[in-house]
Amino acid sequence: MHTTACLFMLKPIVLTLTANDVFNLTKSSITYASRLPFHVEYGEKFNQYIYPIAVHNYVAVVAHSFATIAVDGLYYSLIQHACGMFSIIGNTLENIGKNNEENFDVKSIKVKDDNYSKTLHCLRRHIIVIEFAEHIESLFTKIFLMTLNLNMIVSSISGIQVLMNLDKGANDIIGPLTIYVAQLIHLFLHFWQGQFLLDYSVLPYESICRANWYYTSQRCRKLLLLMMYKTVIPCRITASKLMILSIDNFATVVKTSLSYLTVFRSMQ
């Protein structure tokens, strides 16, 4: 996002500074509108207040970049925290029963059953982490639905602009190409974090399978079965319950976006 914002702000500056050398233009022949990061409408007094308008344009680009990074940074941090908790629970469960011998007491006293105490603690923490993942999903699910639709549409339009300007100079391609690549990376990071949560949420199940559960008491095995039952359906992030954010679905979204691009291209 910062790279895209910098390119948007540098493009009109570079165009103005290198007009004589590269584009065989004078600075006076460059319109004021082309010296701004994006097109704006301020009426007849546009040229009179060009400098305050330019400051407003550049501040808007930076503010949009920082706002997007703040929201995405929160999303990434929450996902990684949930994955870390699943990893801690899985590591604890994997060591269940490793210190027991073959002649252990299956019906040992609950107070002296360390494996049972560890498993019970993991079960309680596992329930809390599942609820935490559900809160993440409910917080971002509607945002991702809008982001997904807008990314597919805008990336298709940016792709069309790139194809239309292939015969022109690089100045007309850099802008839409930057938007297209930035949106693709932005969308990939969202789906990538969703894939992280899918993979790590089933880690307790795999850890129980690798553990020496057969060296534990009956009450401990019942808790392990209960945890395995809770991990049958992994935690996931969805776009308004319509699409699960995963790498496989990201490939589907990219294919859909390219199909939109083909349709828009044929309508020219």
Tens-place pLDDT, residues 47-66: 677 777 778 878 888 888 88
* Local confidence band at 35 (pLDDT 50, 70, 90 cut-offs): low
Q: Is residue 10 part of a domain?
A: no
* Domain span at 256: 72-266
pLDDT at 138: 92
Residue 37 has pLDDT above 80, yes or no: no
What does the pLDDT average to over 127-140? 93
How high is the pLDDT of residue 85?
95
Number of domains observed in the structure of the chain: 1
Is 150 within the bounds of a domain? yes
Reported as a pLDDT band with limits 50, 70 and 90, residue 146 is confident
In this prediction, residues 145-153 reach a mean pLDDT of 82
Q: Which of 196, 204, 192 has its CA nearest to residue 88?
A: 204
For position 26, what pLDDT does the model report? 45
Residue 42 lies inside a defined structural domain of this protein: no
pLDDT at 16: 61
Helix orientation angle between 203-210 and 218-230, rounded to the nearest 10 degrees: 150
Tell me the CB-side half-sphere exposure of residue 6, using CA atoms within 13 A: 3
Dihedral sign of CA atoms 17, 20, 21, 25 in order: positive
Most confident of 72-86, 112-126, 138-152: 72-86
- Residue 64: name the closest of 32, 34, 38, 43 by CA: 38
- Give the tens place of pLDDT for each residue, 75-99: 999 999 999 999 999 999 988 877 6
136 within some domain: yes
- For residues 19 and 166, the model is more confident at 166
Assess contact for 264 and 256: CB atoms under 8 A.
no
259 in any annotated domain:
yes
pLDDT of residue 107: 66
pLDDT tens digits for 7-24? Answer: 767 766 666 666 544 444
pLDDT tens-digit series, residues 231-251: 888 999 998 888 899 999 998
Q: Kindly report, residue by residue over 180-203, the tens digit of the pLDDT.
A: 788 888 889 999 999 999 999 999
In a domain, 33, yes or no: no
| Helix intervals (H) in 103-242 | 114-164, 171-201, 203-210, 218-230
| 156 in Cβ contact with 261 (< 8 Å) | yes
State the pTM of this model: 0.77
Beta carbons within 10 angstroms of residue 33's beta carbon: 16
Q: Let me know if residue 169 belongs to a domain.
A: yes
Residue 52: predicted pLDDT: 79
Inter-residue contact 121 to 115 (CB < 8 Å): no
Classify residue 34: in a domain, yes or no. no
Report whether 93 contacts 204 (CB < 8 A).
yes
Given a cut of 70, whether residue 111 has pLDDT beyond it is no
Beta-ladder partners of 244: 238
Task: Say if CB 89 and CB 122 are below 8 A apart.
Answer: yes
Residue 28 has pLDDT above 60, yes or no: no
